Structure 1
Amino acid sequence: MLSFLPSLMLAQVVTAPLPPIQAEYITQPQEIRPLPGQLNDVPVFNSNSPEVVVGDGILLSTYPQEGKYDPRAHLNKPLNGRFDFFSHHIARPFDSRLLYQGVLVSNPSNRFVRVKILQGASYLTSPDAPFVELPSLVEDPKGQVFSGPGSRLMSSILRGKSQTSFPSQIIIGPGQTRLLFTLPIPRSNARSTYLRLESDGPVYMANLAMQAIQELPETIASAKEQKPTPPKLRPPSQADWEALLVRGRLATPRDKAPTPPEQIQRSAYSRPIYGRVAGISLGSEWKGALLDRPGTNVLSIPSRGQSFSYPLSTLDVGTHGTSQIQSAPMLARYPDTAYLANGNYGVHYQLDLPLYNGTKSRQSVSLSLQTPLKQDQYKDRLFFLSNPNGQVFFRGTVKVSYQDDQGQVQDRYFHITQRQGQMGSPLIMLNLEPGEKRHVSLDFLYPPDATPPQVITVKTEELYYGGLLRR
């Protein structure tokens, strides 16, 4: 029997024919619809390759190639106006020195340029956000529930939080360079960072990695003192970062090179390597109104006992029969990195569901986020595992806004942890009267260290529950 194999951070995704339906598999007959909406046109400085950093090197540079020791490390792509910054890297340096991440921003114009940091946050695995076992669904009104730096980062950005360690703005003189930040990444730690930025002129940006600088020991003043002086270590200065930008190489070792898109087949034995992202992707938000059809203003709930779903963060393989690929295109990239921003890490999904009960009876309707088994063959069913106990495929926070059955406006946050093939529990349950329309919105930023796709599912329950199951 062929099985579904998990993938970690999209380094490689495997798809296989659906196995014969046996006791461990649950088939859920239902309609699967393409997700309405589209990505916006905000560029994202998107740095995730190489994911594991072992020493000094250039992770991602949009600077011109002229005058650089390693021209292939520079993409010659200026940024201007609204753009975002996302990075996720793990430190495993060759020696015991602390690894640092530094970001340079340069102004190539002949006038001053202002770069505003509209929002920014950055977290380490330890001590900020260790990976911990959590229940599959936890309500989290204060942002105190997370597992891993990607989970905590997306929760903070979703809630509009910004760390005070980032400046509110930097002003760069004509032809000058500023250091946006230097942050440590201790050994075996991951650091996830997201910034929302806005400039009033073109800038170049580089994300660099460097170990602590070892200074020469001081000269021994007395011949009687023969004890060796231990070397002093310090964080890299702006001058150190600028020297690395000019004289450094593209960071190595490189991740696996991706399969060219034209070679990816949706056949039973397709094994594409998506690669990791390093470049400028196009799209920081996906906004969509989930409607019966274009031109209408309602989303009619399904018949009692029925449901329909919309896939989220789909890739070339695993579209659940919709053939919809949501991955952001790349405006610039290194040749050995991903052709698309697979997984849409950090993309803010904002979905509006104007639920409408067009029946003549009161109905109970639930909204769920689910992680079905990945497949491309069917758009009239989902497949789950009766005992999902494998790899975690999603750990992150979603916000649900709606008017409850008492007419009160609710903004609720839930942290979700789901494994491959997990059906998931309802986030909310609403009771709709005949002819009633109720707006629900779902917001989340797709978290790093997750494996897409997921689906959002609307279900009309078999029975009308009154207020008994109201959360």
Structure 2
Amino acid sequence: MMLRRVPILVVSVVSIATLEIGLPSMASAYVALMAGQRARGLNGTFNNVPVLHSNQPEIVTGPGILVNTAKGSAIAAETNRPLRNPAYTFNGEFGVHMHHKYYPDDKRKMGGRRDRGLLTLALIASNPGRQPVTLRFDKGSVKNSFEAPYLPNNLMGVKPLGKRPWNTGPGDATAVQMLRQELDRKLKPSITIPAGGKAIVVSTVLPARGIANGLLHGRSDGPFTMAVVAAEETNDPRRLISVLNSGRLAPGRIYLNRIRDIQLGRVFSRVAGVALGDTYNASIQHDLRQGPLHVPLTSTARHNFGTRDVQVNPLSTRMADSALNNVGTYGVRYDVTLNLSGSGAHQLVMSHPVVSGKKQFTAFRGSLRIETMEGYREIHVGLRSGESLALADLNLIPGQTNPVKLSLVYPADATPGHLLSVVPVQQLAMLRRREIQLEEARKRLDSKKDRTVSPNALPPVIQAQPQTFNPPTLPRIEPTVQMAPLRSPIMSPVTTPRYQEAIQNQQEWLLEMQGR
């Protein structure tokens, strides 16, 4: 049998197998669920709200300034030379995102038998004018990994989101409160900066080996600048402000010797500067009678699924060792509306591509809100690279538009390049069956250690299964006080000729392989 005769749907199966058993891969990155199908661009838009991002350096090893939007410069600990500030004056609506880890240079502070060192991260607002400026906050949260621990073994897959989901890690914990448009009770709703003065907006004490994340949205009645500083073993406001006045940057800036690589796009670095945009809106119409829908929920130049739709908001100003743009879009709220035509049982699916040569990793751990005509639900999603997870069952009513709205605040520590799909229930069930077959084939090959696998060999084929799909339904998500009940979808077969032809081709290929 010539490999060129194998249908596209089956070629994707072979490529998955080659990755799993270590043979030469046939693609550098792909989503198996989309095999033989095309994605459409969302082509949404960012707003123009300026957001201070403090994420470079991500790992802080000692005290100093992390980012400062006042005019001027600060001395880098690594080079003892000045590094220009990403100057920006805020006035009106604004946002803040900060995400840092603390790994002190002094290993005695790392914990274990000794007490852990403590690092205070503080957001400081400065008023250069002659009149007081008041900042008012309508939503925001600051959490560290000891307040909101991440429990990796319990949080993979799709699960209902509780009222206080503080066991999902600090990045997701803050994003949840932003998604719900809440202001954490520990944060002040307003702060007034005296003329020519400074004020601590928020602060959190971070033990060594911990992670802190903060997201804020507010509005000012006058011009001001912002800075994020780190101070060891103190939470005294005067000492925090003295760190800002010292004019010295915190150590940990590992990209200072790779400025040229950043400029040429060879390395990404992380963001230290001001990005324009805290919300991304997109709406698309699709007739599922013409085939499944695939759109990039988050995308990069590398992972846009062939659409050339790259969702990156620009930086207005940045530090020299910062990324060139806000590829991570951490803290950005996504509101995506899918206006669907069609009928019967479908599933809303989220995927992340397989990347050849890389081990599987956690590509997303965050929370989403899904709204349909039947109500809405909040879920937590733990997604690994190469996975496709069903987020919701959809029962489409024929003869009308069925809107599905998905909202999320993009959490820190996620890896952009996520695909959002609406597919017939059979399509995901078929993918699950292939994954089981390939895993069994891999185990068979592993058990034959004394046998050499030819680079051109195909994995053993499991006995062909009859054309009957009984996909497992998603766990029922019980409505909370804020949630309208959702009806269980009615499962109905999909009869598109294109899909049935792909199934028939696959069965013929399997039967032919068995006769070899």
Q: Shorter-normalised TM-score: what interval? A: 0.7 to 0.9
Matches within 5 A, 1:260-275: 263-264=264-265, 272-275=266-269
* 1:364 corresponds to: 345
Q: Deviations over 1:404-441 (max 9, x none)?
A: 3xxxxx1201111111100112x222223331222211
Which residue number in structure 1 is paired with residue 287 of structure 2? 300
Worse overlay, 135-144 or 176-185: 135-144
- Kept in 2: contact 1:255–1:276 (CA 8 A): no
Q: Where do residues 71-470 of structure 1 align in structure 2 (5 Å cutoff)?
A: 72-95=83-106, 96=109, 97-133=117-153, 134-144=155-165, 146-212=167-233, 235-256=234-255, 257=258, 263-264=264-265, 272-291=266-285, 299-303=286-290, 306-357=291-342, 362-373=343-354, 390-404=360-374, 410-425=375-390, 427-461=391-425, 467-468=489-490
Q: Distance in 2 between matches of 1:21 and 1:112?
A: 59
Which gives a bigger RCO, structure 1 or 2 (Cα 8 Å, sep 6+)? 1
Query: Unpaired segments of 5 or more residues in structure 2?
Result: 1-13, 17-23, 110-116, 427-468, 472-487, 493-516
Contact 1:318 1:374 in 2 (8 A): no
Matched to 2:349, the amino acid is: S
Q: 2 CA distance for matches of 1:67 and 1:369?
A: 43
Deviation, 1:201, is 0.8
Query: Shift in Å at residue 191 of structure 1?
Result: 0.4
Q: 2:119 is aligned with what amino acid?
A: L
Q: Which moved more, 1:202-211 or 1:388-397?
A: 388-397
TM-score, scaled to structure 1: 0.77
Distance 2:292 2:330 in 1: 28
Displacement, 1:238?
A: 2.6
Cα–Cα, structure 1 residues 469 and 433, in superposed 2: closer, same or farther, change >3 Å?
Answer: closer
Q: 1:63 is aligned with what amino acid?
A: A
Q: Does the aligned pair in 1 maintain the 2:123–2:229 contact within 8 Å?
A: yes
- The whole-number CA distance in structure 2 between the counterparts of 1:421 and 1:244 is 44
Aligned partners of 2:262 and 2:268 also within 8 Å: no
Q: What is the rounded CA distance, in whole Å, between the counterparts of 1:209 and 1:21 in structure 2?
A: 44
Q: Distance in 1 between matches of 2:95 and 2:215?
A: 7
Q: CA deviation at 1:61?
A: 0.3
Give the C-alpha shift of residue 288 in structure 1. 0.9
Q: 1:30 aligns with which of 22, 37, 45?
A: 37
> Do 1:394 and 1:416's aligned partners in 2 also have CA atoms closer than 8 Å?
yes
Q: Equivalents in 2 of 1:245, 1:369: separation in Å?
A: 43
For residue 338 of structure 1, report the CA deviation from its aligned partner.
0.3
Comparing 241-250 with 114-123, greater Cα deviation is found at 241-250
Residue matched to 1:224: none
Displacement after TM superposition at 1:302 (Å): 4.2
In the alignment, is the contact (CA less than 8 A) between 1:429 and 1:469 conserved in 2?
no
Shift of 1:312: 2.5
CA distance in 1, matches of 2:123, 2:333: 23
Q: 1: distance between equivalents of 2:411 and 2:418?
A: 12
How has the CA–CA distance of structure 1 residues 454 and 259 changed in structure 2, closer, same or farther, with 3 Å as cutoff?
A: farther
Identical aligned pairs, as a percentage?
26
| Counterpart Cα distance in 2 of 1:33 and 1:449 | 26
Greater shift after overlay, 335-344 or 239-248? 239-248
Amino acid at match of 1:390: Q
Q: In structure 2, how many angstroms separate the alpha carbons of the residues matched to 1:260 and 1:312?
A: 28
- Aligned counterpart, 1:217: none
Q: 1:20 aligns with which of 12, 16, 26?
A: 26
State the Cα distance separating 1:368 from its structure 2 match.
1.4
Q: Is 2:53 the partner of 1:46? A: yes
**What do the CA deviations read for 1:239-269 (whole angstroms, capped 9, x no partner)?**
22222212231222213346657744xxxxx
Greater strand proportion: 1
* Deviation for aligned residue 1:372: 2.1
Cα distance in 2 for partners of 1:59, 1:251 equals 6
Is residue 258–residue 274 contact of structure 1 (8 Å, CA) maintained in 2?
no
Deviation at 1:67, TM superposition (A): 9.9
**Change in 2 beyond 3 A, CA 1:290/1:258:** farther
Q: Compared with structure 1, are the counterparts of its residues 177 and 104 closer, same or farther at alpha carbon in structure 2 (3 Å cutoff)?
A: same
Describe the shift of the 1:261–1:317 C-alpha distance in structure 2 as closer, same or farther (beyond 3 A). farther
Q: Secondary structure at the match of 2:354?
A: coil
Describe the SS at the equivalent of 1:154.
helix
CA distance in 1, matches of 2:349, 2:189: 37
